[in-house]
Amino acid sequence: MDSVSKKRVGVLRGGTGALYERSLKRGGEIISHIFENLSDKYKIVDILIDKDGVWHVNGLPIVPADLGSKVDVAWNAAHPSLSAILDDFSIPNVGQGHFSFVLENSREMLREHMKKINVSMPRRIVFPVYQKDFDGPRERYAIKKAKEVFEKFSSPWIVKSFTPNLNMGIHLAKTFNELVAAIEDGVRNEKSILVEEFITGKVASMHSVSDFRGQDFYIFPATNVSGNLSVSEKEKLDYLIKELHKHIGAKHYLKSNFVLNKRGKVYLLDLESTPDLRLDSHFSKVCESVGAKMHDVVGHMIEKVLK
C-alpha cells in the first residue's frame, strides 16, 4: 500500500493534567506498536499536547481546528475530555470514555457504581500521612489505626503505601500484631497507608474487545488463573464482563481483574481500558492463545471507528 492511500492515525499524548508522564508513555507504546506492525496500512502522526495545553503535530504547534487536514483517525491516549474536541471536528477516534476513565482512577466511585450491578470489591481503608496535631501520640497511632481496621473487616490484610513508594514494603498481615507492624512501616516512611481486605482464591485477568470476531463482546480465555475455572465460574465471569462493558461504556477494550473466593463469590479488583501493547504483555499472550496478534486487535479498533 503506497503512502498516499495509507490512513493517517494521529496519536494524542501528553496534556495538562497530573497524568502527563503516563500519557506520554502509553502514547509512545501505541505509536511504536502501529509503526512496527501496521505501517503497511497506517501512517503515524504524533500529536503532543504540552503541559501548557499547546497542541503539536510532529513537533510543530497547531490549533486543533487544523487537525482534520492532518489525520483520518485519532487514538486518544491523553485525557478523555480531548475526545470531545476530536468529535467537534468530525475526527473518528479511539479512546477511553470519560466515565470509564473516572472509574478507573477513583476506587471509591468504582465501588459505588459496581454496587449497582451487584459486583463486590475488597473492602479498604486509607489512612492519611500521620500528623501529631490530629492523630495524637506517635507511639499509639499504629495500634489505634489497627483497631479501626479490625473492627471493619477481618484478616488477612494487604498493607502498602497509598501512592507508589519504594521504601515501604507491601505487607500481608494475618494477625493483629502483624497489622500494627505494617502500619508502623507506613508511619516510619511518612506515607499515607492503604489497608485492603485480602481475598484468597482464584485470581483471573480477563481481556475483552467489542465487536470482535463476530461477537458483541469477545472475551479472551483466561490464561493466568491461579487454579482452574469451572464451567459455571467461567460463565459467571463472562456475564460480569459483558455487564461491565455496558455499564461503564467501554467502547473498545477492557481488562477486568477478578478474584473468586472458595465459596465462588466474585470480587472485582480493578479495571483497565487501554491495552498493554508491549511485546511481553499478558495481552500479547492471550491474543496468541486464540491465534491472533495484538496488531489484529489494534487494527480492528481503528477500523471500527473509521466505519
For range 9-35, the mean pLDDT: 94
Measured distance between the N- and C-terminal CA atoms of the chain, rounded to whole angstroms: 19
Percent of the chain with pLDDT over 90: 73
Do 289 and 223 meet the contact criterion of CB atoms below 8 Å apart?
Answer: yes
Contacts for 88 with CB less than 8 Å, ≥ 6 apart? none
Q: Three-state SS for 183?
A: helix
27/58 Cα distance (integer angstroms): 13
Q: Closest by alpha carbon to 240, among 108, 116, 65? A: 116
| Amino acid 229: pLDDT | 86
Number of other CB atoms surrounding residue 192 within 10 Å: 14
* pLDDT for position 77: 94
For 269, phi then psi, to 5°, come to: -90, -50
Let me know how many helices (H) and strands (E) the chain has, helices first: 10, 14
Mean pLDDT across 296-304: 96
Angstrom distance (rounded) from CA 14 to CA 77: 8
Query: Cell 479488583, residue?
Result: 269
Lowest model confidence (mean pLDDT) among 42-56, 162-176, 253-267: 162-176
For the segment 70-104, what is each residue's pLDDT rounded down to a tens digit? 999 999 999 988 998 999 999 999 988 878 888 87
Spatial contact of 6 and 43, defined as CB atoms under 8 Å apart: yes
Q: Which residues of 249-283 are buried (b: 16+ CB within 10 A; e: fewer)?
A: ebbbbbbbebbbeeeeebbbeebbbbbebeeeeeb
Cβ density class 23-61: b for 16+ within 10 Å, e for less? bbebbebbbebbeebbeebbbbbebbbeeeeebebeeee
pLDDT beyond 90 at 181: yes
- Of 76, 79, 132, nearest to 104 (Cα)? 79
Q: Is residue 3 very low, low, confident or very high in pLDDT (cuts 50, 70, 90)?
A: low
The whole-angstrom separation of Cα 207 and Cα 294 is 12
> Tell me, what's the pLDDT at 115?
87
For the segment 241-251, the average pLDDT, to the nearest whole number, is: 90
Give me the pLDDT at residue 167, please: 75
Per-residue pLDDT at 163: 80
Strands 93-95 and 73-76: parallel
The least confident of 49-53, 89-93, 122-126, 165-169 is 165-169
Mean residue pLDDT of the chain comes to 91
Q: Check residue 4 and give its pLDDT.
A: 58
CA dihedral sign of residues 82, 300, 47, 283? positive
Dump pLDDT digits (tens) for 107-161.
888 988 888 888 899 999 999 999 989 999 999 999 999 999 999 999 999 999 9
Q: For residues 90 and 36, what is the distance between their CA atoms, to the nearest angstrom?
A: 28
Helix (H, G, I), strand (E, B) or coil at 139: helix
pLDDT score recorded for residue 248: 87
For 189-235, write each residue's pLDDT tens digit.
Answer: 888 999 999 999 999 999 999 999 999 999 999 876 666 788 899 99
Domains of the chain in start order, with CATH, are: 7-94 (3.40.50.20), 101-120+200-273 (3.30.470.20), 124-197 (3.30.1490.20)
Other beta carbons less than 10 A from residue 220's beta carbon = 21
